[in-house]
Chain A
Amino acid sequence: MKVEVIAFGIAKDIINAKSVNLEVSEGVTVGNIKEKLVNDYPAFNALVSLKLAVNAEYVEDHHILNENDEVVLIPPVSGG
């Protein structure tokens, strides 16, 4: 199944795009998505502690994804 990962801030630089579509198997968790991102983009290793949001809700790593879910990746930004 397909999920879309949408990136903000420095995460855009890492995936080199605003969003990326991932092909994943049924029952995949948010934690699995992080592993896949680290595998595809090694620099993402520095962001594994990030909390991800799925369909506009912040969720924990054990959250299970569904087809066409939208995963949002927001690293903290410090600027002011």
Chain B
Amino acid sequence: MELTREELIRYNRQIILPNFGVDGQKKLKTSKVLVIGAGGLGAPNLQYLSGAGIGTIGIVDFDVVSLTNLQRQVLFDTSQINENKAEMAISRLKKLNPEVTFNLYKEQITSENAMAIIEPYDLVIDGSDNLPTRYLVNDACVLLGKTLLYGAIFRYEGQVSVFNHEREDGTRGPNYRDIFPDPPPPEMVPSCSEGGVFGALAGIVGAMQANEAIKILAGLGSTLSGRLLLYDSLDFTTRYLNIRPSPSNPVSGDNPTITELIDYEAFCAGPTIDRQEDLVDSISVKKLEEQMKTGSVFILDVRESYEYEISNINGINIPLGELESRLDEIPKEKEVIVHCKSGVRSRKAIEVLKKNDYTQLLNLEGGILAWQEEIDSAIQVY
């Protein structure tokens, strides 16, 4: 395979790099990379992988561009809201580099399709935004013997590593389950929409993943395999933690118990029996709607006031942080239905109220997001 004159010019600034050369470029051209999720991490990965001239790039994303994405997913623009992210990414990236072949997967990656989607690729980038997908992608990469570029972001912090990477002796480096053998309960793993995320941080962490991927494919340098990078952008500190393959790892250890993909939603939902005792009483949005039609209900909305302004269901708005100083606004003799955006803060609010001798408390399952989805699609989500 030879590079065209145009390719030699297009990639000149990396071809002239020490140890890279025309050979490095040819390696990239014959490489196939799969990017799972075209969001905060996926988008910068895609831009640099495309620019660098990876031969084939697959993009998996079933989701659409939303207004809340554009603060960090700068690959997209405002006119693309509600359009599929993978499609929009490809239309933009084809203009950046027409030499790249793009494969579109406008679907959710699942235990059923993951092996078939991942199999043809040399390397996988995890740009997903939820824990079940992260375990799914990790296990699939281990089972298929693929190197996985891991990145994750939360608030001002980022994590990067290279998982399941083949070492000189032919064995594979550690993977996600060597760091996180078991998922904590879902409320301990807030998403970007619940916990927030710094925009440029997504770009930094995504670009780090892409940089590692390109190095690996071109055969350059040494990688983050066996190390987890922690980056705290708020006070600009970095920390590396050494990870070793654990003999008890259920997918790659001495006695693997996971030999095919499992139900990851159930795996990450947590052991329900153990959690029964701390479960708060809850009400579904459908049931609340019925109750609102038949009589008066006291709805307490513990979101911040700016969130209440974006959209609300006529509850009394007392932000979680102000709750204890405003208890006089909440009746003790009535049933109080507590809600927030997705159900995490309302759970905390109920704990606060219980401590203050409130007894008739119900948590609105799924918060205002569930209300929008099931009851009133006109509610603005954010």
Show the binding face of A for B, using Cβ within 8 Å: 8-10, 46-47, 49-51, 53, 56-58, 72, 74-80
- Contact of B154 with A by CB under 8 A: yes
Q: When A and B form their complex, which 10 residue pairs have the shortest distance between CB atoms, in order from nearest?
A: A77-B154, A49-B182, A79-B192, A80-B129, A80-B41, A79-B153, A53-B241, A76-B180, A78-B131, A77-B152
Assembly CA distance A56 to B228 (angstroms): 9
- Residues of chain A within 8 A (CB-CB) of B157 are 8-9, 77
The answer to whether B153 touches A49 (Cβ under 8 A) is no
Chain A nearest Cβ from B198, distance in angstroms: 10
Secondary structure at chain B's binding surface: helix, strand, loop or mixed? Answer: mixed
- Contact of B363 with A by CB under 8 A: no
The answer to whether B183 touches A76 (Cβ under 8 A) is yes
Secondary structure at chain A's binding surface: helix, strand, loop or mixed? Answer: loop
Assembly CA distance A58 to B227 (angstroms): 10
Chain B CB count within 10 A is highest, among A8, A75, A77, for A77
Show the binding face of B for A, using Cβ within 8 Å: 37, 39-42, 126-131, 134, 151-155, 157, 159, 178-185, 187-192, 195, 197, 202, 228, 230, 232, 239-244
Assembly CA distance A8 to B243 (angstroms): 17
Contact A9/B154 with A58-B178, A58-B242 known, Cβ cut-off 8 Å: yes
Assembly CA distance A12 to B101 (angstroms): 43
- Residues of chain A within 8 A (CB-CB) of B189 are 10, 75-78
Assembly CA distance A8 to B181 (angstroms): 17
The answer to whether A80 touches B42 (Cβ under 8 A) is yes
Assembly CA distance A47 to B367 (angstroms): 24
